[in-house]
Homo-oligomer: A and B are copies of this chain.
Amino acid sequence: MNPTLFTLLIASTSVFCGDQYLQKREKIIQDERRLSLGGNIELNDKEEAVNKCIMKHKHNELDYAFDSPQFFNFSHHFFFYRENIPNSKVFKIIKNMPKGAVLHVHDMGILGPDYLLNITYMENLYVCLEDNIQFKFSNKTPSSVCSSKWILMRDARRNTKDITEFDARLRNRFTLVVDNPDEVYPSITQSWGAFMDYFGTVAPLVSYRPVWEQYFYDTLLKFRNENIMYVEVRSILPNLYELDGTEYDQLVTAKAYRKATLKFIQDYPDFIGAKLIYAPSRKVDNATISKYLNVARRIKEDMPEFFAGFDLVGQEDLGEPLIEFAPQLAAAAGEFNYFFHAGETDWCGSTTDENLIDAVLLGAKRIGHAYALPKHPVLMREVVNKDIGLEVNIISNNVLSLVRDVRNHPLNVFLANGLPVVLSSDDPGAWEAGVLSDDYYVAFVGVASRTADLKMLKALAINSLKYSVLDSKEKTDALNRFNLRWKEFVNNFDCSSY
């Protein structure tokens, strides 16, 4: 063949192939977008304008993170870029955006160290200043063991030379945040150790009855301030106590919750409300599980409209696995909604990992974390078939040592497959994050595809209501109210104000 002709033929074939090639390429991209969470949502013109704005800023921030990783270095621990997040324009938009509900959050880990430090200024608080600091509200010196001695917090503070420094040290007891997380928390043992210490310190502070009611009221306020309209809160339901040492049972704790919620809705009628998931420790025996279930029955009987369901908490790798309690939990499955923590682990094929199987078989309505799910293709199909909500807490999983680089978090796989993700924040106060916006930010910019846009954000917000335990009428109402607020957000959106 004439070489010139041959060259021409190759060139023309190549151009032809090129068009076909680009079409096939675009089809794959579009197919994957449609499959991803929110991929089927159609945006109207006003939403498109918001989307254009948020995507411009998202791409700027991603490019900046790529070129100058000192600011948003998603490969590092959250504590390295935590303080930069509030400066992000994407974050500011997300903060103002209606986000629906928060469905996975633990009561004592929400409000953060400044709030807790303020509690220590209340009257009648005793403190035991030892390695694991202890608190107790009381009208007389507490009798429980203290390796130094119980003194009034007021006196302790008065005796110190430098109250600012004293309070700064005290505040450190109420947070996991440190400057050098890689050294302080080299592995899950240390991060969970500090996390458990946090709860040990905080529990006696907030379970003083007058604090408890106010604490939850203020919790709801913090959610509302981040444009959240509904919460399903997990609680171990500690026994509330009075200054004279009176202790109440768990039904009283639950009632205090409901009371605070009702007062809050009255004060803020645009807030839909809250429901309670009873979630006591998993590190117990079968007899205790039976007791738990009886407590759950009592609460459900007393306040069926406020009680959402049942879960078990604690560092999952340390047990007990769900299979230990499967007969009891299966027998009670008709009575309760289950929201089991499952698969919050890096160990594959371990009993922790197998909790995912039991969560599915026990009919969990949602699964807490489900971190290990992509390692289980059969269970992934079950999650889709049974439409089980996946409560993902991305910052929590980073801080509690499951994953350092959030871009390796399985949330990405969930989003790409359009799985029913509900984004949540677990214990945001313990790592000084906002109650949901920070998790949205990290998920949207750090984890999701560069191409994931407002459709994904809207789908996440809608999922948070869809996978709630609100009954059908409540849910319709909630979605209507959400849509109105969404419309308002979109209509009032001004890109230049960000």
Residue in chain B with minimal CB distance to A451: B349
A287 at the B interface (CB under 8 A): no
Contact with B along A319-361 (1 / 0, CB 8 A): 0000100111011000000000000001111100110011011
Write the nearest CB–CB distance from A50 to chain B, whole angstroms. 20
**Which residues of B have CB within 8 Å of A402?**
405, 408
A449 to B25, CA, bound (A): 34
A75 to B191, alpha carbons, bound, how many Å? 13
Bound complex: CA of A276 vs CA of B368, how far in Å?
49
Given A189-B69, A346-B408, A347-B450: A21 in contact with B361 (beta carbons within 8 A): yes
What is the total number of residues of chain A having a CB less than 8 Å from a CB of chain B? Answer: 69
A348 / chain B contacts, CB cutoff of 8 Å:
407, 412, 447-450
Residues of B within 8 A of A25 (CB): 323, 357-358, 361
Q: Is A187 an interface residue (CB 8 A)?
A: yes
- Among A154-162, A234-242, A375-383, A479-487, the one that faces the other chain is A375-383
A270 within 8 A of B: no
Bits for A417-459, please: 1 = Cβ < 8 Å to B, else 0: 1000000000000000000000000000001111110000000
Tell me, in angstroms, the Cα distance from A402 to B404 when the chains sit together.
Answer: 10
Cross-chain pairs A/B with CB under 8 angstroms, 30 sampled: A14-B330, A15-B327, A17-B331, A18-B327, A18-B330, A21-B326, A28-B357, A28-B360, A28-B378, A31-B378, A32-B377, A32-B379, A35-B377, A66-B317, A69-B187, A73-B187, A75-B187, A75-B346, A76-B187, A346-B407, A348-B407, A348-B447, A348-B450, A349-B448, A349-B449, A349-B452, A353-B450, A375-B413, A375-B416, A377-B417
